[in-house]
């Protein structure tokens, strides 16, 4: 118990506590701050850029999570069928997850480049557009682009975990339902989906937490630009706290993420509770 407690204390409680404390000081790099109460939070409350980053983070998290769930579930259902080269495809699907985020972000940076974008080039060759798309220079485009990159990176996690969940559903249930007269859609609606909900709850909780705290993709692709249109709370906190040197303010932004994360954890707490049908004896 003691070593575990010590590890938790040193690596979790202390940094978290320090972060929370810094949020109440005016510390800067090279200067230990003094306690200033909630002055940082008062400042952020009236800071439009901060609220923009909150909006961006929610937009980014919600839209990316919905897309990841829908596409990941679809992919899992496909991979759960008896395809030729099944294990090969399953391995391929994991690739975006395996590649270091910074590397794939740099690849996306090229894909979205205003001059050399392969997407613009391909669309131009096909005659679908007549001038290059300004992926990262236009606020709307930039938001959509970073969300797309995040979805690409996040799908494997969702797909593979849901696939694992699908494989725990006994084949005989599908056979019984088929004999009971269920169509393909009804098999999905009445057998697959309800039996998958416990796994969906876990997977999506993690997916939402990862997405909400995302930093690398944005930092490499846009650094929050253009005009803060893609700044997330994590990137804004880094920019203010480290690049800008305002440790106290940066820490306050980071602390402001906690209520959102707590809400997600609470949601998962209730979502992960054993459902009534899961209770009782074994098989």
> Of 190 and 206, which has the nearer Cβ to another protein?
190
> Of 86 and 275, which has the nearer Cβ to another protein?
275
Q: How far is the CB of 163 from another protein (least distance, A)?
A: 20
Q: What is the dihedral angle through the alpha carbons of 83, 84, 87, 91, rounded to the nearest 10 degrees?
A: -90
Q: How far is the CB of 242 from another protein (least distance, A)?
A: 49
Would the CA dihedral through 136, 139, 141, 144 be positive or negative?
Answer: positive
What is the distance between the alpha carbons of residues 230 and 221, in angstroms, rounded to a whole number?
10
> Of 131 and 184, which has the nearer Cβ to another protein?
184
How far is the CA of 74 from the CAs of 78, 113, 121, 128, 163, in angstroms? 6, 30, 29, 28, 10
> Of 43 and 190, which has the nearer Cβ to another protein?
190
Which residues in this chain contact another protein in the complex, by CB under 8 A?
Answer: 170, 172-173, 175-182, 186, 190-191, 194-195, 275-283
What is the distance between the alpha carbons of residues 253 and 45, in angstroms, rounded to a whole number?
10
Q: How far is the CB of 173 from another protein (least distance, A)?
A: 5
Q: How far is the CB of 259 from another protein (least distance, A)?
A: 33
What is the distance between the alpha carbons of residues 64 and 276, in angstroms, rounded to a whole number?
31
């Amino acid at each position: 118990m003691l070593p575990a407690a010590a590890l938790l204390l040193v690596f979790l409680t202390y940094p978290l506590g320090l972060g929370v404390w810094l949020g109440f000081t005016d510390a800067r790099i090279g200067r230990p701050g003094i306690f200033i109460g909630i002055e940082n939070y008062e400042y952020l409350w009236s800071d439009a850029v901060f609220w923009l980053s909150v909006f961006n983070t929610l937009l980014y998290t919600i839209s990316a999570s919905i897309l990841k769930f829908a596409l990941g579930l679809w992919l899992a259902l496909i991979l759960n069928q008896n395809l030729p080269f099944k294990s090969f495809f399953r391995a391929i699907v994991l690739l975006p997850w395996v590649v270091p985020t910074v590397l794939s972000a740099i690849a996306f940076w090229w894909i979205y480049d205003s001059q050399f974008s392969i997407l613009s080039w391909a669309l131009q060759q096909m005659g679908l557009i007549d001038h290059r798309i300004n992926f990262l220079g236009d606020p709307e485009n930039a938001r959509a682009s970073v969300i797309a990159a995040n979805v690409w990176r996040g799908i494997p996690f969702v797909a593979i975990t849901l696939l694992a969940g699908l494989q725990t559903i006994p084949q005989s249930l599908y056979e019984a339902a088929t004999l009971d007269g269920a169509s393909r859609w009804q098999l999905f609606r009445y057998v697959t989906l309800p039996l998958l909900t416990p796994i969906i709850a876990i997977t999506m909780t993690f997916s939402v937490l990862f997405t909400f705290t995302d930093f690398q993709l944005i930092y490499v692709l846009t650094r929050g630009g253009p005009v803060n249109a893609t700044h997330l709370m994590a990137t804004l906190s880094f920019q203010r706290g480290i690049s800008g040197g305002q440790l106290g303010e940066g820490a306050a932004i980071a602390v402001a993420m906690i209520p959102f994360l707590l809400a997600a954890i609470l949601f998962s707490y209730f979502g992960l509770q054993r459902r009534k049908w899961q209770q009782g004896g074994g098989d």
